[in-house]
Amino acid sequence: MAKVTYLQPDGTSRTCVNFEGMTVMHLAVGNLVDGIDALCGGVMQCGTCHCYIAPEWSERVGPPSADEAAMLEALEGVEVRPTSRLSCQIQLSEALDGLVVEVPAEQPGV
């Protein structure tokens, strides 16, 4: 199991514990983390699970796939950063124990 901390735009944080095989998005939705809306259910079609990976975790999490990068480029009305990822595409494992994820103030289309 790994712990993930979700940082909210207001500065509050919430740490959740995952089970092997979950994504950052599924963990957030299952724990009612505000701001990870995941309207498409995690199939990389809406971008409403957009998040920012804490810079110190960015290399360990890795870059987005080509399809994910294209989806991030298409997002409108939100700030896309170099550490932006779709949380539905980040598979959790012991290697990501302690991961810190920043939830954006707004999600596209929400």
CATH number of the domain that residue 55 is part of? 3.10.20.30
pLDDT tens digits for range 53-93: 999 999 999 999 999 999 999 999 899 999 999 999 999 99
87 by DSSP, 3-state: which?
helix
Q: Tell me the pLDDT band of 110, cut-offs 50, 70 and 90.
A: low
Residue 63 lies in a domain: yes
Residue 109 lies in a domain: no
- Please state the rounded mean pLDDT for residues 30-39: 95
The boundaries of the domain holding residue 78 are 3-102
Which position has the token pair 């700030």? 79
CA angle centred on 12, ends 10 and 18, rounded to 5°: 130
Q: What is the enclosing helix (H) or strand (E) of 26?
A: helix 24-30
Residue 110 lies in a domain: no
pLDDT for residue 21: 81
Chain Cα centroid distance, residue 65: 14
Q: Which residue has the higher pLDDT, 102 or 76?
A: 102
Q: How many domains does the chain have?
A: 1
User: Residue 75, Cβ neighbours under 10 Å: how many?
Assistant: 19
